[in-house]
Amino acid sequence: MPVLNDASHVRQAVESILAQEYVGPVEVLIALGPSIDGTTELVADLASRDERIRVLDNEIGSTPAGLNLGIRAARFPVVVRVDSHSMLRPDYTAVAVETLERTGADNVGGIMDAQGETPFERAVAIAYTTKVGLGGSAFHVGGSEGPAETVYLGVFRRDALERVGLFDETIKRGQDWELNRRLRESGGIVWFTPSLAVTYRPRSSVERLARQMFSTGLWRGELARRFPSSNGIRYFIPPLMVLGVTVGLILGVVGIFTAATGGPAWPLIGFAIPAVYLLFVLASSLAYALRGGIRTAGWFVVVLPTIHVTWGVGFVLGFLALTGNIARHTGR
């Protein structure tokens, strides 16, 4: 489990690991990045209370560097990837190992079961688990068991990870998709099963959500540029929406000036594009989020465009090969 500045969630995540109903030897490897919010002290306390926990110093601090650090230090043939925002069900490891043995897969995984505790977090969770939010991947919305392009987190055969060279540390986000691509290209199987579900705690504010989505979109754009033949159409919908709304607003503003000066008024039709998008957001809120209450539905009207716009803008910048410059300036 890579950890960096996450004192509010890491204890629950580690406790869910220690509570696994798995018959066999287990070690918990925490790759700790340079944290300033009390995470270092919290992790040290957890390690002092259970000899199964080992803390590894992840000086680089990035997720793929932490994952590789843990894989290299691991003593056992199965590697269970865990996120500090996630909580495993008690049977998670046992079901995953059984699925590895039954299918012969190199990696198995299931559903990111987003569960919010506040109206805002519940709105984010709904956006994660609907096709109008993050695009409808099986690990977000569920589906039938079988081979998949990628899965959430993952439970791996260690020798398969070593066969393909571990995670690519130049990819700060989306490294799981890229690794699964290499596993599949090497003849391995990535297996999705809905029987594996991981409780995930969404970001708790608009700012944190926007930062997460911008970074995710940025690296998704980078991956789309690097591997153009391996991308589904759903990855391009948010950036196309951002470009469409932007062009529509520009046309509409131009139309205001041209109409005011006696010129043609047809550019005003550009305002129809953001208007249609706004109606889409409102309709989605009524269709998906209202079941969570009025406050959750109200936040959904904010959450959905936040995800679309920040992810879409990030994707465009990443696709234009600006990922390295932005990552150096923002740490993402």
pLDDT tens for 24-83 read 999 999 999 998 889 999 999 999 999 999 999 999 999 999 999 999 999 999 999 999
Backbone angles phi, psi at 205, to 5 degrees: -150, 160
Question: What are the sequence ranges of the domains in the chain?
Answer: 2-204, 233-330
What confidence score (pLDDT) does residue 139 get?
A: 64
More confident call, 267 vs 232:
267
Instruction: Give me the residues paired with residue 54 across strands.
Output: 29
Cβ atoms of residues 72 and 64 within 8 Å = no
CA distances from 111 to 137, 185, 211, 213, 294 (A): 10, 23, 23, 19, 27
Say what the pTM is: 0.80
Looking up tokens 């629950």, which residue turns up? 12
What confidence score (pLDDT) does residue 142 get?
A: 67
SS3 string of 220-248? HHHHHHHCHHHCCHHHHHHHHHHHHHHHH
Q: 2-204 — its CATH code?
A: 3.90.550.10
HSE-CB for 310 with a 13 A CA cutoff: 19
Q: Residues of the chain with pLDDT > 90: what percent? A: 65
Burial bucket for residue 146 (CB in 10 Å: 0-12, 13-18, 19+): exposed
185: pLDDT confidence band, cut at 50, 70 and 90?
A: very high
